[in-house]
Structure 1
Amino acid sequence: MSHTTATDKISKAIATLGPVGFLPKAPGTWGSAVAIIAAPFLLLPYSPLVRCIIIALVFVLGGLAADRAERLLGQKDPGCIIIDEVAGQWLVFAFFPIMTSWQILFGFLAFRFFDILKPWPVKAAESWLPGGFGIMIDDIIAGLYGALCLFGARFLYLEYISQMFR
């Protein structure tokens, strides 16, 4: 008979964002949605430097929690572990001081695109680090891809607006 400690319960709750990771269908999308809802309160009010520190803390805490939850659940990278979506989704927004609603939606869609399709090196990154940190790192790379797309979209939009007033 195994005994679940308070640390085990907390780790599992962090890794799965409580019950959110157990919602039916597309747990990663639910995790990204939670990240979007929480971002205006926990991420976006801060400078890009502070945002990066917050994301680094989520990465470390999430990696530790995901490692423990993975062992508790007896599966390698189970779908219910979605703390990695928070870190990756927030990274999309980390470098932009001001975010509009359409940019948040675009960033959400860009991150989900790269997280689901896992182009190189997103998929390969899972093997770069052990355990829970391997779970986290691929979403960080997908978040960087999403941030690059958001940067490009913002640049193109600004170019379009500037052309209108020439």
Structure 2
Amino acid sequence: MAASPETGTAIRACAQAVIRAIETHGHDTAQLTAALREPLAALAARPDLCTAGVPRLGNHVANSQYLYYDGDLSILLFELPDGRPIDVHDHGNWESMAIYRGRVKHTVYERRDDGSVPGKADLTVVEDRVLEPGDSVVIAPPADIHGFMALQEGSWGITVASGTYKPERCYFQPEAGTVVSRRPRG
């Protein structure tokens, strides 16, 4: 099924709502989370999003598409690998993730140490839950570290990001208390 003109209108409306939310709330995580819930749920309700995007090289996934990009704001659609956890990582900017299809275990962390000891990191769990279609979460400083995993085949997510991702990210192993810096891989 090809994307309909109405889907393009829905993507644009979501982008405009995100821009208004950022202008109104800045990077206040609680306010952004509340302001983005409805536009992301409306976008996630579109049945033809998978045919609406432009392919992009994904950071942690093989199938990723731009739904919207204006140089500062991007809205991405991506397919999660079934049963393979996405490494716990940071971004260098705030990001919102919504579930389009499937179920995803999502954990948000906050770093408790000051990063002064190379290779070491002390993380605490801020939120750990299962996200389902229409659910969304904002990942932003100081709780700007997350990891996730599809719980069923065919799980897709929508990401909204403001700003540019860091080219080198921190990747954490919370149980081991370690961190390394590297470029994301698909």
Scaled by the length of structure 2, the TM-score of the pair is 0.28
Instruction: Compare the two structures and name the one with the higher strand fraction.
Output: 2
Instruction: Compare the two structures and name the one with the higher helix fraction.
Output: 1
Larger radius of gyration: 1
Scaled by the length of structure 1, the TM-score of the pair is 0.31
